[in-house]
Each structure stands twice: as structure tokens, then as C-alpha cells.
Structure 1
Amino acid sequence: PHVSVIDLTHSIPPFDVRAGALALARSTAYLPEGVILAVVDPGVGTDRKAIAVEVAGGAGVFVAPDNGLIAPAVAIAGGAERAFHISNSDIVLSGAGGTFDGRDVFAPAAAYLCNGGAIEDLGPELDPSLLMPSAIPLPREEDDKVIAEVLWVDHFGNCQLNVGPDDLPFTWGPTISLTLPDTTEPGVTVVRSAQMAANFADIGGGIGLVVDSLGMYAVCLDRRSAAAELALDVGEQVVIAQGEDELVTTPVTFGR
């Protein structure tokens, strides 16, 4: 009863470890010291481990499944210093079945820590370097192109990519090309011209690549949904390349 509980969200799409990892990573810098309980666990009941990971000299502990869910947040917090396998039968519950580890394993472990219990009591120590890596994909370079992926689609239809300003050559722009899904033929891609813009108003009537409030590039349209109009969704591949400025042509009539 003496513990303050901050409820971040219960709105992560079912089974979506990556969405949970993104939400947690974006929140970590604003959380106070203490225990962070995170459960998005499609592998419940399997041999994946339940873990407690200590960060920041013991100021914080993440309690979660070892499936990459907490990897980005742990990195933001300075990296894993110690990790333990939550397996002490005196702490976890022996619930019926193996489908509700959030109740039977993770919540009791978090409560134990909040009551002053030692992290060492949860179970054997693990090598932090062997924990599952991030579920968030990294961009890659290929033939003078950057292969990106849509990480997040916000309420307005802006499509955040896994690419930040440091991931693109500084010589690129202002015109770039984006390889996107063809909105008329599923499974086919089309190359579209886009502008690197500072804000939505600068996009005009075309497609923009804008640095969003989290410091990542997002494919955007001005006052329209890029997700809806460009057939983009989470996990969709977007290929970015240097574009060519459109040529301005002037009709000329030759005399006879």
C-alpha cells in the first residue's frame, strides 16, 4: 500500500512486442527510480525466461519476459548491470495452467522488489549479454539506398520510420525518392518523389519526410493521412534514396 503506481498503458496491441518496446523506450527517461513491470508475452508458458534486470546502479529494475521487450529501454537507462532469472517458487505463484505469467510470475516478483526484497532472491543470476536483443529493427544501407521500416503510425496517419537524421547522408535532399507500396496493386511497389521538410506546412501538396517529436523521420502529408493515402502500415518497408529535383520546363514556339 505504500508503493506509488504509475500506470503507463494497457493499450499495446495484443502480442505486439515491438509496439510495447517502443512505448516503454519512449517513457523510460521520464520515469522515477523504482521497479518497472512490463508484460507483452506471446511466448507465455514456453521456455522463454522471466527476468529482472538491474540498471543505473540499482536505481531501477525491469521485470519482464526475455523477448526483447525491455531491451531498448534498458539501453536508454545505461545498459543492464545485473540480470536474474525469476524462478524462486517461494516468490512466484503456482497458478493453474501456464497462460497467465503476468499474474503468477511477473507481478509477484515486482511486488517482492517493491517491498524491499533483494533482486538476488528472485533466482539465479544471468549473463546480461545473453538476453534477447531489441525487437525494433535497424535500418540498413544497400546500393546507395537506405532500407527503412514503418515503426509507428500515429493518430493523424503520420508514419514514423526507424531512421533518424544521422542515418541518412547529409548531402541528401531536399528532394528524395521513396519506394512505397502501390496503392492500386497489392504486392507491387512504386517510386514516389518526396521533400525533406521542417514541418507539415512546408510539405505542400506532396509527400514529406519530417523529423517528428521523437527525433525520427516520418512519412507525412499535410493535413492528410499518409498511412491511408500511401497504403502504409507498421512493418511496411520504405526505401529511401537521393532524388532529383524536378525540372521546370517552359514551352517555346519557334518562328518559321
Structure 2
Amino acid sequence: MDIITLTTDFGYSEGYVGAMKGRILNILKKYNKEVKIIDISHDIRPFNIYHGAYVLLTSIPYFPEAVHIAVVDPTVGSERRSIVIETKNGYLVGPDNGIFSYVLDRLKVKKIYKIDENKYNPSNTFHGRDVYAVVGAEIIIRNGYDGEEIDDIVRLDDKTKRVIHIDRFGNIITNIRENEVNFSYGDDVEIEIKTRFGKKRIKCKFVRSYYEGKDFICLINSEGFLEIGRFMDSAAEKLKVDYLDEINIITSS
């Protein structure tokens, strides 16, 4: 492996991303190791684990073997665990808070390890630099990871149907999977969305592509989730929808 990817909610106005990269490169330099560090995204909404989980799903399965470090960690410094997941195409490193929930549906998990955070004497507030960057570098050096194996990890709650992502075009991505949809292309679907401004009901046409409707549309996106949109417009702005707003399919015809 010679690739490490980073996904965080750190943004670019601070030095946090640079600190993680510097830590990785400094460790690898001592072993004459070279690595490509690829930024998947640092624009994850602050503290938004669902957003991070969805972005990982849209990117990690398309990489060759790599180490993927994800840091969206609102409870850093608490009793939450840190984990390494060994998969068929590399390693996932980060907090055990559900951030890897969606991508694991696409990857074959081999082993799950609990990271001994005390080994790294981390600060209370920056485990991205002090734990995850170091562990990522160690995996590159050793071409693997050795630690305490565990059987379970935290998964995001998908029993409640909700908004899990709003992309930059204003498309509303839900956690409703393709196999949960029982309507046909061309059907009019009535959907209720519970927002902070109250409940809203809309009718959208179930289509294959964005251009097939002039008003609200719904479709199965490239990751297999039900998505609500408007052609060349922001459905999220029109409906004043935000992350974790609840979704309920009323009828279809």
C-alpha cells in the first residue's frame, strides 16, 4: 500500500489537516517510505457523522488498496473507541461512532481491531493527529495492523427514515434503499418530510434521471439510495430541509 486518504470535518481555514499530513510524512520519512496522501473531503459538516459516512461510501470503494483515515469525531476524548477495520481493499481508521456504516456494506470485512489510544499518549482534543495519523502511518510501514480484535462496531441508526445527505446541488439523499422502494418509474409519489419548520408534503415523480421532471422528482441515485431533487434547482432550499429530517412515504400511484 502506498496511499493514505483523509476525510474530515476540519475545513481548510485551520492547520488541522496540515498537522495530520505532517505527522504522517514525518513518521514515514524515518523508514524511507513514500506515500500519496489523497484528500477525499475536509468539508464534511462539523460533527455530522451521517454526512461523513455517505461521502466515504461514494469514494472509498473506487480506490485501489489504501489506508482510509476518517475523522468526524464530536465526542473526541470520551470513552468512545477508536478502531481499525481490515477489509478486502485496505484499512479504515477512525472513531467507532458509525462513520464507516455505509461503506462497510460494499467492502468485505476481514478483521476489526480496537486501537489502544493510551499507547500514543494523545491530547484530549486532537486524536486525528495524535492517534489516527500515527496508526495510518504504522499500517503503511508494517503493511498491516496487529491489535486487540473485536466483534462489533457502532452502526448508524437506519430504522428511522431520514435525510442523510444534502449535496451541493441541493439534492436530498435519504437512507431509504432501493430494495425498500415499491413503486414504478413514472409513478407519482407523495412524501412527508418532518422539518424544524413543521411537516411538509410533496408529490414527486419517480424517474431515472434528473431532467425527467420539471417539479420535484425522486430517483434511485448511483449509490442505491432514494433521492429527492429538482432539475437545475435546489430541492433542499425549496423545502427548507436539513440533515436528519424524518422522511415518510405516504402513497404512490
- Bin for the TM-score computed over the shorter chain: 0.7 to 0.9
For residues 23-42 of structure 1, what are the structure 2 equivalents within 5 Å?
23-42=55-74
Alignment pair present for 1:217 and 2:217? no
Partners of 1:118 and 1:208 lie apart in 2 by 45
For residues 146-185 of structure 1, what are the structure 2 equivalents within 5 Å?
148-170=161-183, 174-180=187-193
Provide the residue aligned with 1:74 in structure 2.
Answer: 104
Residue 190 of structure 1 and its aligned partner are, at CA, apart by 3.8
Partners of 2:90 and 2:103 lie apart in 1 by 11
Q: Name the SS for the 2:142 alignment partner.
A: coil
Partners of 1:68 and 1:136 lie apart in 2 by 9
Alignment pair present for 1:18 and 2:28? no
Partners of 1:24 and 1:31 lie apart in 2 by 11
For residues 1-256 of structure 1, what are the structure 2 equivalents within 5 Å?
1-56=33-88, 59-79=89-109, 81-87=110-116, 92-95=119-122, 97-116=123-142, 118-120=144-146, 123-127=147-151, 130-133=152-155, 135=156, 137-138=158-159, 148-170=161-183, 174-180=187-193, 187-204=197-214, 206-243=215-252
Q: Residues 75 and 10 from structure 1, CA distance in 2 versus in 1: closer, same or farther, beyond 3 angstroms?
A: same
Matched letter for residue 160 of structure 1 = I
Matched letter for residue 198 of structure 1 = R
Larger Rg: 1
Matched letter for residue 72 of structure 1 = Y
Contact 2:82 2:117 in 1 (8 A): no
Partners of 1:242 and 1:209 lie apart in 2 by 13
Q: Residues 199 and 16 from structure 1, CA distance in 2 versus in 1: closer, same or farther, beyond 3 angstroms?
A: same
Question: Residues 13-50 of structure 1, C-alpha deviation per residue, up to 9 Å, x if partnerless?
Answer: 11111111111121121111132111111111111111
Alpha-carbon RMSD across the aligned residues, in angstroms, is: 2.4
Contact 1:28 1:76 in 2 (8 A): no
Q: Name the SS for the 2:98 alignment partner.
A: coil
The structure where strand makes up a greater share of residues is 2
Partners of 1:170 and 1:7 lie apart in 2 by 38
Gaps of 5+ in 1: 140-147, 245-256
Residue 187 of structure 1 and its aligned partner are, at CA, apart by 4.3
Question: Residues 112-142 of structure 1, C-alpha deviation per residue, up to 9 Å, x if partnerless?
Answer: 111126511xx32222xx2112x26246xxx
Contact 1:67 1:132 in 2 (8 A): yes
Q: Name the SS for the 2:39 alignment partner.
A: coil
* Percentage of matched positions with identical amino acids: 27
Partners of 1:99 and 1:106 lie apart in 2 by 13
The structure where helix makes up a greater share of residues is 2
TM-score, normalization by structure 1:
0.76
Q: Name the SS for the 1:70 alignment partner.
A: coil
Gaps of 5+ in 2: 1-32
